[in-house]
């Protein structure tokens, strides 16, 4: 299985979840129904900060040198993403002071290389959908500068997906490893989807129709 085939397999297996996480309801869920620019930016900042913490911790205790290097690189990129979003806020939040996104809680449970690289692919596929929603939101708010900011962050995530998928191909020795990596990716995606569903249901909103 090639790197691109792995991404395609994960995407296909999680098509419904990723589609709904890419709907306009995703931002509504992430902000508890408050779709003003500031809560949207605050949600983005928390997500970036939490991701940076996760991947920095992975890099610190990862035995595979190639994986450790990628995790450190992604951690630095996510830290830069946080600073970029934080610059748009007067009092930017930190992940440590807020509930950790469900996807990050799941990722932090992974302690072996195969699961981590698979989980990274899953996380990046979710993050790509999220960046598209942020871009669309600020385009709709007639704020092309902030929309462009998130479009740039989305480009970084696309590169992260490619790098993570290449690493999956490098560290998976056989079909069993690839299956474990795909299961980890799915677990990460489903954690994000479950959080999305629970948030909308708590607000009395049907999470299923895509809008």
Q: 58-91: per-residue pLDDT in tens?
A: 999 999 999 999 999 999 999 999 999 999 999 9
Q: Are 50 and 43 in contact (CB under 8 A)?
A: no
Q: What is the pTM of this model?
A: 0.95
- Which 3 state secondary structure label does DSSP give 124? helix
pLDDT at 211 over 80: no
Digit-coded pLDDT (tens) for 104-113: 999 999 999 9
Question: What's the average model confidence in pLDDT over 177-193?
Answer: 97
**Percent of residues in the chain assigned helix, strand, coil, to nearest 5:** 75, 0, 25
CATH number of 3-202: 1.20.910.10
With CA atoms as reference, report the closest residue to 46 among 120, 109, 118, 96. Answer: 96
**Domain limits of the chain?**
3-202
pLDDT at 209 over 70: no
């Amino acid at each position: 299985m090639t790197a691109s085939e792995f991404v395609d397999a994960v995407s296909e297996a999680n098509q419904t979840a990723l589609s709904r996480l890419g709907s306009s309801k995703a931002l509504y869920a992430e902000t508890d129904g408050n779709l003003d620019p500031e809560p949207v930016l605050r949600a983005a900042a928390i997500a970036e900060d939490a991701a940076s913490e996760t991947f920095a911790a992975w890099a610190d205790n990862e035995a595979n040198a190639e994986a450790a290097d990628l995790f450190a690189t992604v951690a630095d990129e996510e830290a830069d993403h946080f600073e970029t979003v934080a610059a748009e806020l007067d009092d930017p939040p930190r992940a440590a002071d807020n509930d950790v996104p469900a996807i990050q809680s799941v990722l932090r449970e992974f302690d072996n290389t195969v699961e981590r690289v698979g989980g990274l692919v899953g996380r990046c596929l979710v993050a790509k959908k999220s960046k598209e929603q942020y871009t669309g939101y600020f385009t709709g708010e007639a704020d092309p500068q902030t929309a462009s900011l998130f479009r740039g962050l989305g480009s970084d995530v696309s590169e992260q997906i490619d790098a993570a998928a290449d690493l999956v191909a490098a560290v998976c020795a056989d079909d069993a490893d690839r299956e474990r990596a795909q299961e980890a990716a799915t677990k990460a995606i489903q954690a994000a989807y479950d959080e999305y569903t629970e948030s909308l249901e708590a607000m009395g909103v049907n999470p299923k129709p895509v809008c």
